[in-house]
């Protein structure tokens, strides 16, 4: 059975919603629990499909994992397994985050090349290069990335691009390496800072989290901890765009608004009124939105994960918009589905030109990834008639109770099984 979302357009969303922990953080924190024997507890975890997927990966490595609502308990044995097989990791990309911790704990890791969203090529060359500079030998063998080492030692590593995944795997390997590791051109995302905070709570010595340069002084061992997952800025941003698209009024809690500074500034340019609070923000759109240009960049730039929402908003905004995708080359697959709904869009390489002000009309559409699926649901909120969104298992991987939360804000979204 495959589920669909049936979205009836025309509702103005209003009310309050609270986001839970970040998908892009919790899965990496779960992997980091491999670094210490004993029970690590994570709170504020999102109840999304990827969390039990990662739990299965960890169980396959010898951990005992208990999922209790928004709390996850991970008990890591003294000796973890090193082989994360295909069946466990094929469901989602974040499973590769076990590579660094396994290399650190076992000096050996064998991780099947992961699956996940169809948004473009995401090679592991920077992951491998970083581990090799720490003393590991790596190669691809029978569909797996393999890392082996006699010992790990500190190194100076400069990334060609501030890759989030490579930064995470190098960090989690270096915390148990002998000596000092300096990671230059590191990713600066809030989820990286969250990982560094948890590692520090476990006994790691890390400086520079949130900057371009992170310095790690290796330690002999780490201890388990209890940690609260940072709020999900991408889910929060999705609600912000839902308010702007439906000319609504939504207050979003559970998030540091500084993690969405540029996103909220773009919405102001589109005509929204934005108020920020210490743990949230409010977006009110009283007039039709106006066109705004976007280009996706690593944090603190505009996040690629909100690009589909930006395109959806531009489609119904007054004027011409140019959206430039600098991170994933296949993310514009979303545009083809928007054109089914009546969007006036043309793609030129890594640019898409949107001629806004169109009235969208319902059609069957297909989610190609988590964020594309959410963007199509938002488009359905302003389309005439009933829009049927297929392959919503993608959305379930990143948005807890998405239809229920939308309906609580005044939308009309129904989950149906085919």
Q: Which residues are catalytic?
A: 117
Please report where in the chains the tokens 């996706």 appear, as a residue: 296
- Spatial contact of 213 and 189, defined as CB atoms under 8 Å apart: no
Is residue 305 annotated as involved in ligand binding? yes
CA nearest neighbour of 165 among 34, 25, 372, 301: 25
Phi, psi of 136 (to 5 degrees): -90, 155
Phi, psi of 268 (to 5 degrees): -60, -40
- Spatial contact of 192 and 228, defined as CB atoms under 8 Å apart: no
In order, the DSSP letters of 77-126 are -SS---EE-HHHHTT-GGGGGGHHHHHHHHSEEEEEPP----SS----HH
Reduced to 3 states (helix: H, G, I; strand: E, B; else coil), residue 297 is coil
Is residue 282 annotated as involved in ligand binding? no
CA 128 from chain center: how many Å? Answer: 22
First-last CA distance in the chain: 6
- Spatial contact of 188 and 299, defined as CB atoms under 8 Å apart: yes
Residues 227-250 as b/e (b if ≥16 CB within 10 A, e otherwise) read bbbbbbbbbbbbbbbbbbbbbbbb
Q: Exposed, middle or buried: residue 357 (CB in 10 Å: 0-12, 13-18, 19+)?
A: middle
Is residue 327 annotated as involved in ligand binding? yes
Phi, psi of 85 (to 5 degrees): -80, 175
- Spatial contact of 82 and 108, defined as CB atoms under 8 Å apart: yes
- Spatial contact of 343 and 358, defined as CB atoms under 8 Å apart: yes
CA nearest neighbour of 398 among 3, 25, 7: 25
- Could you tell me the CA-to-CA distances from 414 to 19, 22, 189, 238, 340 in Å, in that order? 21, 25, 34, 19, 20
Q: Could you tell me which residues are annotated as the binding site for phosphoenolpyruvate?
A: 23-24
Q: Could you tell me which residues are annotated as the binding site?
A: 23-24, 93, 305, 327
């Amino acid at each position: 059975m495959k589920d669909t979302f049936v979205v009836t357009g025309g509702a103005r969303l209003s009310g309050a919603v609270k986001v839970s922990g970040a998908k892009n953080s919790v899965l990496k924190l779960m992997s980091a629990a491999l670094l210490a024997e004993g029970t690590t507890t994570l709170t504020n975890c999102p109840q999304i499909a990827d969390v039990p997927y990662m739990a299965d990966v960890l169980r396959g490595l010898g951990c005992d994992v208990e999922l209790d609502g928004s709390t996850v308990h991970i008990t890591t044995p003294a000796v973890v397994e090193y082989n994360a097989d295909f069946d466990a990791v094929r469901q989602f990309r974040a499973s590769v985050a076990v590579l660094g911790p396994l290399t650190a704990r076992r000096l050996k890791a064998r991780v099947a090349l992961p699956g996940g969203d169809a948004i473009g090529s995401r090679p592991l060359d920077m992951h491998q290069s970083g581990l090799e500079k720490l003393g590991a030998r790596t190669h691809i063998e029978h569909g797996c990335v393999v890392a082996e080492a006699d010992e790990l030692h500190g190194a100076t590593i400069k990334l060609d691009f501030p890759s989030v995944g490579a930064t995470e795997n190098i960090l989690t390997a270096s915390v148990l390496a002998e000596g000092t590791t300096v990671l230059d051109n590191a990713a600066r995302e809030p989820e990286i800072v969250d990982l560094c905070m948890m590692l520090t709570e476990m006994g790691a010595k890390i400086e520079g989290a949130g900057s371009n340069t992170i310095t790690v002084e290796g330690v002999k061992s780490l201890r388990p901890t209890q940690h609260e997952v940072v709020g999900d800025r991408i889910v929060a941003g999705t609600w912000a765009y839902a308010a702007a698209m439906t000319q609504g009024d939504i207050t979003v809690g559970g998030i540091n608004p500084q993690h969405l500074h540029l996103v909220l500034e773009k919405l102001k340019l589109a005509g929204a009124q934005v108020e920020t609070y210490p743990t949230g923000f409010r977006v009110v759109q009283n007039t039709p939105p106006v066109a705004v240009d976007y280009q996706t960049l690593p944090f603190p730039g505009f996040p690629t994960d909100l690009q589909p929402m930006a395109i959806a908003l531009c489609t119904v905004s007054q004027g011409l918009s140019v959206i430039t995708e600098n991170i994933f080359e296949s993310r514009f697959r979303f545009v083809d589905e928007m054109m089914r709904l009546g969007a006036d869009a043309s793609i030129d390489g890594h640019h898409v030109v949107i001629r806004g002000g169109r009235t969208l009309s319902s059609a069957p559409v297909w989610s190609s990834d988590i964020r594309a699926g959410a963007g199509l649901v938002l488009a359905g909120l302003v389309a005439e008639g009933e829009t049927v969104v297929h392959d919503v298992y993608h959305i379930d991987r990143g948005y807890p109770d998405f239809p229920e939360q939308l309906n609580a804000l005044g939308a009309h979204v129904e989950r149906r099984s085919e």
